[in-house]
């Protein structure tokens, strides 16, 4: 794998987004491929696209086996990921927010644990100068030029199209699939990309549903023009155990 080098004088700045790591449920091979890629791509914009943690034990309706999963191990795995990635922005996901809800509505030692860990996250992101976008429909958006990154809401094709109508062109995770849909819009393009995941393709909460059969490892990357806000997006994906990176840097 070989990529061109980013020149700081260029208007076109490289970016990458990592979606759906899920803490201690991350896929080791997919994450190794991701970090090998990042080390060569050298993106100026490094974005966590949500669900860095899994927090299965905090899920409403968690099974007995999920409740026995160590929240500390899950949390620590996500913090190590932050340290290695050194993000410039963190867009919170629906799994991540479970810890924040526990801090608000929990009681006793569990609430204290949640507040302590949230402060650890805040301090680490502050040291990195990392922007934070909470998981709400008004705030869960990080703009990279004219392109938006958010974790995602709802499920299925109707939800994807609705998010395109509301938010415009965007990159999202949440569904763990690799999909793309476009909408007509005069004078500009409006494209929604669902960009794959970095977690295991079998998680307990989804092992009896059909949606997880479409899950796929991958991540989006590309360039944003710092002067015009225009962008180009590429999709890294794993097929038959091999990684494909459709970018040869011939346009710059």
Q: What is the CATH number of the domain that holds 145?
A: 3.60.21.10
Question: Residue 3: what pLDDT?
Answer: 55
Decide if 2 is inside a domain: no
Q: Which domain holds residue 165?
A: 12-244
Structural domain count of the chain: 1
Q: For the stretch 23-41, what's the b/e string if a residue is b when 16 or more beta carbons lie within 10 angstroms of its beta carbon?
A: bbbbbeebbebbeebbeeb
1 lies in a domain? no
Question: pLDDT band for position 234 (50/70/90)?
Answer: very high
Predicted pLDDT at 251: 43
Give the pLDDT score at 166.
92
pLDDT of the residue at 161: 86
pLDDT at position 249 over 70:
no
pLDDT averaged over every residue in the chain? 90
**Full-model pTM:** 0.92
Task: Determine which of 64-68, 209-213, 240-244 has the lowest per-residue pLDDT on average.
Answer: 209-213
Question: Residue 242: which of 221, 218, 222 has the closest Cα?
Answer: 218
250 within some domain: no
Residue 74 maps to a domain? yes
Closest CA to 176 of 24, 26, 15, 16: 26
Asked if the structure places residue 55 within a domain, the reply is yes
**Is 5 domain-assigned?**
no
Q: Are 92 and 151 in contact (CB under 8 A)?
A: yes
Mean pLDDT value of segment 100-129: 96
In SS3 terms, 134-195 reads as CCCCCCCCEEECCEEEECCCCCHHHHHHHHHHHHCCEEECCCCCEEEEEECCCCCCEEEEEE
Question: What is the pLDDT averaged over residues 177-181?
Answer: 92
Q: Which residues contact 83 (CB under 8 A, 6 or more apart)?
A: 124
Domain annotation covers residue 154: yes
The helix/strand/coil state of 208 is coil
Residue 47 lies in a domain: yes
Cα angle vertex 160, ends 159, 162, to 5°?
65
pLDDT digits over 58-93, tens only? Answer: 988 888 888 888 899 999 999 999 999 999 999 999
Q: What is the pLDDT of residues 139-166, one digit of tens each?
A: 999 999 999 999 999 887 788 888 988 9
pLDDT for 252? 41
Q: What is the mean pLDDT of residues 118-142?
A: 98
Retrieve residue 91's tokens: 């867009």
């Amino acid at each position: 794998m070989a990529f061109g080098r980013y020149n700081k004088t260029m208007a076109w700045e490289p970016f990458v987004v990592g979606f759906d790591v899920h803490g201690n449920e991350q896929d080791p091979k997919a994450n190794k491929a991701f970090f090998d890629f990042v080390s060569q791509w050298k993106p100026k914009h490094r974005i966590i696209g949500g669900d860095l943690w899994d927090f299965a034990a905090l899920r409403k309706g968690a099974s007995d086996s999920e409740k026995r999963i160590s929240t500390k191990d899950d949390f620590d795995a996500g913090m190590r990921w932050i340290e290695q990635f050194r993000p410039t922005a963190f867009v919170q996901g629906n799994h991540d927010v479970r810890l924040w809800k526990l801090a608000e509505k929990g009681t006793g030692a569990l609430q204290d644990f949640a507040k302590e860990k949230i402060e650890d996250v805040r301090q680490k992101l502050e040291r990195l100068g990392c922007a934070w976008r909470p998981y709400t429909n008004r705030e869960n958006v990080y703009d990279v030029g004219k392109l938006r990154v958010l974790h995602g809401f709802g499920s299925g094709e109707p939800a994807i199209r609705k998010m395109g109508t509301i938010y415009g062109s965007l990159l999202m995770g949440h569904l763990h699939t690799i999909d793309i849909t476009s909408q007509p819009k005069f004078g500009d393009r409006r494209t929604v990309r669902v960009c794959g995941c970095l977690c295991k393709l079998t998680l307990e909460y989804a092992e009896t549903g059909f949606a997880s059969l479409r899950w796929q490892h991958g991540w989006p990357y590309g360039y944003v023009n710092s002067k015009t806000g225009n962008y180009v997006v590429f999709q890294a994906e794993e097929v038959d155990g091999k990684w494909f990176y459709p970018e040869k840097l011939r346009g710059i």
